[in-house]
Amino acid sequence: MIESCLKRKKIYGPHIALTLNQLEPTCITYKSGLRLVYLHKPSEVAHVGFFFRAGSRFEKKNQTGLAHFLEHCVFKGTKKRNGIQTISRIDEVGGELNAYTAKEELCLHASFPKSHTARALELLSDISINPVFTKKEVEKEKEIIFDEINSYLDSPYDKIFDDFEEELFKGHALGNNILGVKEGLEKLTKNELEVFVKEYFSKENLVVSFVGDIPLNKIERLLVKHLDTMPERGSQVKIDPFSGYKTFHIVRKEANYQAHLVMGGMAPSYFNENRTAMAMLMNMIGGPAMNSTLNISLRERHVLAYSVEANYVPYADVGFWQVYVGCEPKNIKKSIKLIEKELERLQKKPITTSKLKMVKQQFKGQLAMSMDVNSGLMHSLGKSLLAFGQIDTIEEIHESIDNISAVELQNLAQEYMRKSEVSSLVFDLKD
């Protein structure tokens, strides 16, 4: 069945935006459950991603880091290629082959001259269907990941976000550190990798995203040809919903040169109708713009911190918001008080009409900027279809933004940012 990605039941939120004067993406859902999102974009470079619903939240108990471990190991060879042949297949034509692991997806992707589209699709299909895990290569890759973990542990800025999420979702797979931990990784086996592939690398669990200057019918023919032997499991993978959030306030001696702070709490899931409003609220509080509320308060007005940012992260069943500050240890308490003050202000009184207008305009502009690169489009389209089953136009998203009121933002702040619902994690300087 072929249908426009744009003609679907609306789900609120800025997942992906395309203007109507662009060639609109096409979504194809095959009888097998495999989904393709295709966007024609004139360019000598094409981009393709295989997005599997197979991130770290799908790991079983005592398997923390397995999804990321698999991301590394799938490039170590297939039934028809050794590891060197696999990683060289795209490199030797001037392209790039890569992968990433997130909480709710594992993505294999490539960028390449468009004339080598067949090569790229065949390779990603081969990696997805026929990976071979030898004991020798598995053990070698563990050492590489251990080095990655060591580098990560040397960066308190990176570590504090993962540690905060671990505490936020304590006891649930959503709290799993994507990299894993050394003690657990040492015990993982090639058999566990094989079982994970068998369980999650199926047609129903896959979205293929393509952006480039190749006809749709050619992409279809290549996928039918190369993904024919991929297993079909009959349904998409189910998730284990999170519940039971408990607030926490933790101080650890983890920092090297400056202190780090993360504050936050629960937020709407990406299926919640308030998702767009929540994203806009967090953008106003601490988005990339220099005029964000917390940047002006903590950095410009009170000179307490150099690094200030706020994020909203939605998942299928739940979401969370967080505020990060990097500063001198002596400024941590002052920073916390100022953040609490700004959050309380949002709860007590709606923002002004002029402020709301500016916030909306800024948010629209930043969404447009994020869609300016073809490789970014490929990733956003793939993630959107995998998560939402739809892709909205920029007009639809602008309409949802325009409909957000100051009272709605105030209500979100009251629901999710009450002092009693906010948690904190501080990395103070090591002794």
CB within 8 Å of 294: residues ≥ 6 apart: 285, 286, 308, 310, 323, 325, 338, 339, 342
pLDDT digits 0-9 by tens, 169-196: 999 999 999 999 999 999 999 999 999 9
Number of other CB atoms surrounding residue 186 within 10 Å: 11
Answer for the pair 200, 74: CB distance below 8 angstroms, yes or no: no
CA angle (317, 368, 389) in 5-degree steps:
35
| Radius of gyration of the chain, Cα coordinates, nearest whole angstrom | 22
Residue-level pLDDT at 61: 87
Q: Exposed (0-12), middle (13-18) or buried (19+): which is 11, by Cβ within 10 Å?
A: middle
Q: Are 281 and 350 in contact (CB under 8 A)?
A: no
List the chain residues with pLDDT less than 50. Answer: 1-22
> Residue 23's pLDDT is what?
54
Q: Which of 339, 286, 338 is nearest to 309 (CA)?
A: 286
CB 57 within 8 A of CB 169: no
The secondary structure of residue 172, as a DSSP letter, is S
Domains of the chain: 34-226 (3.30.830.10), 249-429 (3.30.830.10)
The token pair at 240 is 């284990």
Per DSSP, the residues of 295-342 read: IIIIIIIS--EEEEEEEEEE-SS-EEEEEEEEE-GGGHHHHHHHHHHH
Cβ atoms of residues 200 and 21 within 8 Å: no
